[in-house]
Amino acid sequence: MSAVLDIRHLRVYYGTAGKPVRAVEDVSLAIGEGEVVGLVGESGCGKSTLGRGILGLLPEGALANGEVLYGGRNLVGLSQRELRRLRGPDLGLVFQEPMTRLNPLLRISDHFRETLKQHEPKLSEDEARRRSLETLGRMGIPPTRFHQYPHEFSGGMRQRIMIALALVLRPKILVADEPTTSLDVIVEGQILALLADLKRNFNTALLLITHNLGIVAEACDRMAVMYAGKIVEEGPVRETFADPAHPYTRELLRSTISLETTELHSIPGAPPNLIDPPPGCRFHPRCPDAMRVCAELVPVEQRVGEARRVQCWLHGPEELVKRGGELPLQREAIGVADEA
């Protein structure tokens, strides 16, 4: 499958009065046409920063370098004027918190008219209305509600409207940042069904940012696991769930509650400070399988089978593992308590 979006060695740093915050560190990820890739990890690991970095929506003071290749162009370094032309028709974004993303003073029809006219100024009023209603209809919003205000909709319906606003311009790539946040499980299921429709009806490439592994299992083809600004594991969802290669992925899956859960599990400690992250593998202070090499050397990316990759010394290469020593680190010595 050819990549619609190809991220290569992307870094995003936030400036501070002292050292920069290394929010995204050397991330590479490709997304194919019609593919749904789930980006998972704990809060603060850099998922939303990566999504916004792809679209060039970083705040003032942030610095990005590397490559985000789309249509033969590197989006990193493009002017905001050039990026605005691409956002909407090519690159779409569904924000978190739909309650605060719609203008309360504008009707839903005004939101759609403004979006379409901004990118397709020659579009007639009738055609703009037709496309708006057609996209809203796919999201389950009836035409009778087209001229209502945002406060007249529930949270789940507002999220559907946000998705429809992103899709009305028919983007090739959609970044959905926690699209089910604050929604109950019934509406969450409806949103997942809508995401599945995106793949069938629009053939849209989707980067789904979430901390909910259940959503990834339900909706995604591949998953990328992010920790402390790095992607530590990537692969097909079914294979990764069945046999996680990285200890962090394994611990995340163990922390998920299911019908078979008999006791709660959590990962000891907390994600590191990204101003001054630990040396070597950034997960080693919390890792139950940490070796001496983990604290000394940054893991080398390894292939696990044909379609999976992982950054973990448990998978070699052996000559470097031996250089760093194979004795396990004591949990007390690396500052992690026995309980979270």
pLDDT digits (tens, 9 = 90+) for 158-193: 888 988 888 888 888 999 998 877 677 777 777 777
Q: Which residues of the chain have pLDDT under 70?
A: 1, 97-99, 182, 319-340
Alpha-carbon torsion angle 111, 112, 118, 120, nearest 10:
-170
pLDDT score, position 337: 36
Looking at residue 302, its pLDDT comes to 92
Helices (H), 106-212: 108-119, 125-138, 155-167, 185-197
Q: Which residues contact 117 (CB under 8 A, 6 or more apart)?
A: 123, 128
Task: For residue range 75-114, list pLDDT tens digits in order.
Answer: 998 998 899 889 888 998 887 766 677 899 999 999 999 9
pLDDT value for 322: 61
Alpha helix segments (H runs only) across 88-152: 108-119, 125-138
Which residue, chain included where needed, has tokens 């309360």? 104
pTM score, whole prediction: 0.87
CA torsion 197-202-207-208 (nearest 10°) is: -20
Q: Which amino acid is at 146?
A: F
Query: CA–CA distance from 61 to each of 13, 20, 129 (Å)?
Result: 9, 10, 39
What is the pLDDT, as a whole number, of residue 144?
95
Using DSSP, state whether 153 is helix, strand or coil: coil
Residues 6+ apart with CB under 8 A from 88: 115, 118, 119, 169, 171
On whether the CB atoms of residues 181 and 11 are closer than 8 A, the answer is no
